[in-house]
Structure 1
Amino acid sequence: MTIVIMFHLSRYRTFKDYYHRQVLRSYRSYFPHLVSYNRFVELMQACSVPLALFMSRHKVKQSQGVAFIDSTALAVCANPRIYQHQVFAGRAQRGKTSTGWFFGFKLHLIINHQGEIISFCLTTGNTDDRKPVELLTKNLWGRLFADKGYISHSLKERLKDKGVDLITKLRKNMEQPFRPLFDQLMLRKRALIESVNDFLKNTCQIQHTRHRSKNNWLVNLLSGLVAYSFLPQKPKLKFTQQQAKLIA
């Protein structure tokens, strides 16, 4: 687990280079029984369940009154290769985001104002963003800011009964209700969760299209999330935890 997590904190772009150039050369004193790269790739599949438990029990943070929700696409292959793709055939699905079509899965995230992950889940690419919201907000309270894709009167009412105030941007043809200045400002700060998604993809490398195993794809995703949770500096908004509780 330690080796696969540290890969996402390294500067290597491929796990093979990382294992050969960093692990085998520099980490042998910490791991005296290192195996070959091919054998390690076979063994790392067993890390998926421990990584999921570690992330959910130890690294997921608590709600602090202000949270942001969004989903991001996790493509498993390039679009021209969809019909030839075999690894996730029958599991991955086509989906569409603001940037276009993709074939794969969606990662749904809720973060607090400090950029820490509160909850997450994985769905197929064709899943409506609103479908997993109630599952994700199981232990949430306070304000939850989202984009237009989460607009739903029935969902808003169900969340309100649980103590969660879902606040979304509005479409142009919708009536503009009165909103407190704080809510307006926080809607403009939704770029925070987009920055987190971008960081997870480009720095922690939770997405690439070279996987040859479903289990290793999952290990790469979970270890990337765990690695992100260890970062001392994350994208965040500058107000204190006490202020967040008072505002909510």
Structure 2
Amino acid sequence: MPLDEFIINIYLMVEQYYNLVVQKPLRRGGFAPKLSDSEVICMELVGEFMGMDQDKQIWQYFKNHWLSWFPNLGSYPNFAKQCANLHFVKQHIHQQVAQTQEDNIHFIDGFPIPVCKYARAYRHKTFKADASFSYCAAKQEKYYGFAGHLLINLSGMIKGFTFASASIDERDVAPEVADNIHGLLGADKGYIRPELTQHFASKGIDLQTPLRRNMTDNRPKSDVNRLMRCRRNIETVIGQLSDCFNIQKVRARDLWHLSHRLTRKILAHNFCFILNKKLGNPPLQFELLIKC
């Protein structure tokens, strides 16, 4: 679809979910912002999809190209402040969006979110109390920062997300991320832990992972191979979040703004997923959304 239709569709979806999660006025005093909350969130999500992950980039783009559509777009500081203040609204919208896709097959995985180059880690002061060192097996390198923890359903919609200090074991975070699901949960070898399997079993969740070489596997090999093929979707989603939405680039200086930026990237991904599905496209082929 053309870019203008894409913006219209994103705005209509934002307005629909905003009205679901906001049942009473958000502001009790002072002057209401001229730019509506739905307009701000729409601009954020469109900007994220187009690779503009900084508030100033998004503000400049719409100021230069779409001011006639957003005539109440004011100064950059006011725009950035309104974006950050809508953090919890975007979290609630994500929860509503995730509920639209019921599924009994999910996949979980983690990925690194470095806050700086490894060589600068010992001089880095911004997240000194929160970030830590860890090792990324996929890239075979050490890094300093956080780890993102992602939960998707079989189709690739993001159902849950959180981030934690990089040194925290992903098995310790898994119960929080996969708290409200049921059925099959696929993961890699990093999630092998008998206590974790038992915990999920008590919640009605069947955790399945490939086993290590020194472990006996009585499951049919074809079933394990099928599970691992389906699990590739989460690697695709992580790749999209990294390449298109720049989720591994930290441009915040405190946990509040970092959490806000990560939330809107996840929400932008899910909105593109839903829109692709409505158009009859493969949900994760985002390149089909906008045609010049």
Query: Does 1:76 find its partner at 2:115?
Result: yes
Counterpart for residue 43 of structure 2: 3
User: Which range moved further: 1-10 or 54-63?
Assistant: 54-63
Q: CA deviation at 1:15?
A: 4.6
Q: Which amino acid aligns with 1:66?
A: I
Question: Are the counterparts in 2 of residues 142 and 163 from structure 1 also a CA contact under 8 Å?
Answer: yes
The whole-number CA distance in structure 2 between the counterparts of 1:13 and 1:58 is: 21
Aligned partner (choices 91, 102, 112) of residue 130 of structure 2: 91
The structure-2 alpha-carbon separation of the partners of 1:81 and 1:42, relative to structure 1 and needing over 3 Å to count, comes to farther
Q: 1:45 to 1:12 in 2, by over 3 A?
A: closer
Question: Which amino acid in the other structure matches residue 169 of structure 1?
Answer: P
Structure 1 residues 138 and 210: alpha-carbon distance in aligned structure 2, compared to 1, 3 A threshold: closer
Counterpart residue type for residue 270 of structure 2 = S
Q: 1:72 to 1:214 in 2, by over 3 A?
A: same
d(CA) in 2 for partners of 1:214, 1:31: 30
Are residues 1:227 and 2:268 paired?
yes
- Report how many residues are paired: 235
Q: 1:134 deviation in Å?
A: 2.0
Kept in 2, the 8 Å contact 1:59–1:226? The answer is no
SS in 2 for 1:196: helix
- The equivalences for 1:149-168 within 5 A come to 149-168=190-209
Q: Hey, what's the Cα distance between the residues in 1 that align with 2:182 and 2:251?
A: 39
- 1:36 to partner: Cα distance: 2.7
Of 160, 164, 170, 1:123 maps to 164
Contact 2:51–2:245 (CA<8 Å) still a contact in 1?
A: no
Partner of 2:279: none
- In 2, Cα distance between equivalents of 1:24 and 1:97: 39
> Which residue identity is paired with 2:136?
T
Query: 1:1-248 alignment to 2 at 5 Å?
Result: 1-12=41-52, 15-20=55-60, 22-59=61-98, 61-98=100-137, 99=139, 100-179=141-220, 181-231=222-272, 232=276, 233-235=282-284
Task: Return closer, same or farther for 1:64/1:94 CA change in 2, 3 Å cut-off.
Answer: same
Cα shift at 1:30: 3.1
State the AA in 2 paired with 1:58: V
Displacement of 1:61:
4.9
2:49 match: secondary structure: coil
Cα shift at 1:168: 0.5
Partners of 1:47 and 1:206 in 2: CA distance: 19
Identity over aligned pairs, percent: 26
Deviation for aligned residue 1:68: 0.9
**In structure 2, do the counterparts of structure 1 residues 144 and 227 end up closer, same or farther at CA, with 3 Å as the change threshold?**
same
Q: Which has the higher contact order (CA 8 A, sep 6+)?
A: 1
Partners of 1:5 and 1:227 within 8 A in 2: yes
Cα-Cα RMSD? 2.2
Question: Which shifted more, 165-174 or 98-107?
Answer: 98-107
Change (3 A) 1:120 1:178: same
What runs of 5+ residues in structure 1 fail to find an aligned partner?
Answer: 237-248
Structure 2 distance, partners of 1:43, 1:76, is: 25
Q: Normalized per residue, which structure has more helix? A: 2
Structure 2 alignment gaps of length 5 or more: 1-40, 277-281, 286-292
